[in-house]
Amino acid sequence: MTLLKAKIKNVIEWKAVLTAIGELVEDAMFICNSNGITFRGMDSSHVALLDVGFPVSSFEEFETQTSFFGLHVEDFKKVLSAANNTDTVVLEILNSDAMKVSISGSLAIEYNIRLIEKSEVNTPIPKIDYKSKISLGPNTLTRIMSNLEQISEYVTINCMTDKVQFLGKSEMGDAKIDLERGNPELESLDMSEDTSAVYSLEYMTQIIRSIGRASMKIKMEYANGNPIHMMFEMPSLTRVEYYLAPRVEN
């Protein structure tokens, strides 16, 4: 009985997602059903949550029994790194012991990855009444975060009627980056009140660098002192959502 057979055509997105998952957890559980393949996991400090869904439409071929499988993320990353972004990758699980990964392109490569047993954890999604919503290109957001990283470990995001402001501060000094409403780099700004919150730059840059390179647009929404919700718009309609808790002032 075939538990899973999935032919992947969006290799670059899978690589990006696995990089992001590897930043949060060492072992990952994936759920398979008639809608596709999903992953949801939280880092050990419970600061960040990643919610991913590869819909059936993102596969060239897809058949599955409702099931779940677990594996070491680094193992999966190493195997998938053998594929060029234009190659075809087929994932096959016939039993609970291993997953066969077949790569076809300029080379025909076949791997078998040992699966792991792990109890399924139901991680709830934070419920937040968002007050501000921002939409940016991934290159713009990467540039903003990279510049702030030079001087700070945290970013303060301020949404105002006329602009979005990113602030960084440390003993070295401070930095401020403004995106005025109307700036083509700021694709949209929708807010119901002035909003401000502080987040870890390390966690934000990790997800932006891993997923951003494969995405077309990043949407962010948050409220004063609340987790930020980041949605990455992917070419194949893969759903990638990230929640990051705010910094708690001592």
State yes or no: pLDDT of 122 exceeds 80: no
Tokens at 195, concatenated: 């909003």
- Do residues 101 and 114 lie in contact, with contact meaning Cβ atoms separated by under 8 Å? no
Q: What is the pTM of this model?
A: 0.94
Residue 90 shares a structural domain with residue 166: no
What's the pLDDT score for residue 97? 92
Average pLDDT, whole number, for the chain? Answer: 94
Same domain, 76 and 176: no
Number of domains present in the structure of the chain: 2
Q: Which amino acid is at 218?
A: I
How far apart, in whole angstroms, are the C-alpha atoms of residue 4 and residue 123? 23
pLDDT for 117: 85
For 178-205, the pLDDT digits (tens) are: 999 999 999 999 999 999 999 999 999 9
Query: Which two three-digit tokens encode residue 75?
Result: 């193992």
pLDDT of residue 22: 96
249 pLDDT higher than 70 = no
Are 216 and 168 part of one and the same domain?
Answer: yes
- Distance between CA 30 and CA 91 in Å, rounded? 13
Q: What is the CATH number of the domain that holds 165?
A: 3.10.150.10
Structure confidence by residue, pLDDT tens digits, 143-152: 999 999 999 9
Distance from the first to the final alpha carbon of the chain: 55
Asked if residue 125 is part of any domain, the answer here is no
* Pair 149, 53 in one domain: no
Helix, strand, coil % (nearest 5) of the chain?
Answer: 20, 45, 35
Structural domain span for residue 18? 4-114
Let me know if 154 is exposed, middle or buried by CB neighbors in 10 A (0-12, 13-18, 19+): middle
